[in-house]
């Protein structure tokens, strides 16, 4: 065991203390330009450090999007490592958004990269794709358990193309997305108050009352801000489990940079709107 408390328990506490908002660190080339930064490693580093300085002491979760760091090769990965360490040191939990998924034996290596406590990129949780079959994620589930880490499994994604796979109906009559939710509910059984194995469910999806979202784990909800969803949508989309939702906002906050105070204020506004929507539901 790592000695770290399970991710779900740590996340529950962070959400209760700081509110559930997750701010994404997505250094799009267009945002670097808007911030007056060059599209290079120095620009990437400045961008990422500014976001961490602005919000890591205040929000529950930061979610760096690995793609924007990988774009710069090994030096970009070095910036990512530093950002993860700085965010965690400031008290935020880090969800590494790398959306890994492969055959089980390769999945084990991805898990070692992000979920082993001694890995340079160790993160509190990792986004993973179950579309090589949920069972292919087993090595990541096992390593996460050993290291007090968690997973967010793509179940019902925020993008309009996702339905082609996730709404496909299986011979047993259940659709693929619902099946992923059921796997996660089984994973989290007996792991209260909140299990460590979450689902990604887009905030953009409208009424999801036909799905059983009660997986006893967190629901990472991207789509607020740039993709058109708002905090007010959360109760309608998530119904009785809205208290387990971790709403992610990336560009909706990041476009307010590079001023640290403006970034912090933007995150605070989203956090307030989310708190209001969740508590009035």
Ligand X SMILES: O=C(O)c1cc(=O)[nH]c(=O)n1[C@@H]1O[C@H](COP(=O)(O)O)[C@@H](O)[C@H]1O
Please give the positions annotated as active site. Answer: 99
Helices (H), 56-91: 66-70, 73-89
Q: How far is the CB of 63 from ligand X (least distance, A)?
A: 6
Give 24 or 258: the residue with its C-beta nearer to ligand X. Answer: 24
Give 8 or 27: the residue with its C-beta nearer to ligand X. Answer: 27
Q: How far is the CB of 163 from ligand X (least distance, A)?
A: 12
CA–CA distance, 197 with 157 (Å, rounded to integer): 16
Residues interacting with ligand X, by CB under 6 A? Answer: 24, 26, 65, 97, 127, 157-159, 200, 202, 222, 225-227, 248-252
Q: How far is the CB of 190 from ligand X (least distance, A)?
A: 26
Residue 22 has a CB neighbour count (10 Å cut-off) of: 27
CA atoms in the 13 A half-sphere facing the CB of 99: 10
Q: How far is the CB of 65 from ligand X (least distance, A)?
A: 4
Q: Minimal CA–CA distance to 97: which of 15, 152, 35?
A: 152
**Measured CA distances, 119 to 81, 112, 113, 116, 206 (Å):** 10, 7, 6, 5, 38
Give the bridge partners for 224, in sequence order: 229
Give 8 or 252: the residue with its C-beta nearer to ligand X. Answer: 252
Give 19 or 222: the residue with its C-beta nearer to ligand X. Answer: 222
């Amino acid at each position: 065991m790592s000695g770290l408390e399970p991710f779900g328990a740590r996340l529950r506490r962070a959400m209760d203390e700081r509110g559930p908002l997750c701010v994404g660190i997505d250094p799009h080339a267009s945002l670097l330009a808007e911030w007056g930064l060059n599209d290079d490693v120095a620009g990437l580093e400045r961008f990422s450090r500014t976001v961490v300085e602005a919000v890591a002491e205040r929000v529950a979760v930061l979610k760096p999007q690995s793609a924007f760091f990988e774009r710069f090769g090994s030096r970009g990965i070095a910036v990512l490592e530093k950002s993860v360490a700085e965010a965690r040191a400031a008290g935020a939990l880090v969800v590494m958004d790398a959306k890994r998924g492969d055959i089980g034996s390769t999945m084990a290596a991805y898990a070692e990269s992000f979920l082993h406590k001694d890995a340079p990129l160790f993160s509190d949780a990792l986004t993973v794709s179950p579309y090589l079959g949920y069972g292919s994620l087993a090595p990541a589930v096992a390593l996460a358990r050993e290291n007090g880490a968690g997973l967010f499994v793509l179940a019902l994604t925020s993008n309009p193309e996702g339905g082609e796979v996730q709404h496909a109906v299986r011979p047993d009559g259940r659709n693929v997305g619902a099946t992923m939710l059921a796997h996660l509910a089984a994973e989290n059984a007996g792991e209260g108050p909140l299990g460590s194995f979450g689902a990604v469910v887009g905030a953009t999806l409208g009424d999801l009352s036909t799905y059983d979202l009660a997986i006893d784990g967190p629901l990472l909800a991207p789509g607020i801000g740039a993709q058109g969803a708002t905090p007010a949508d959360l109760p309608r989309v998530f119904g009785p489990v809205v208290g387990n939702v971790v709403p992610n906002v990336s560009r909706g906050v990041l476009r307010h940079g590079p001023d640290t105070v403006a970034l912090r204020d933007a995150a605070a506004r989203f956090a307030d709107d989310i708190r209001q929507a969740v508590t009035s539901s």
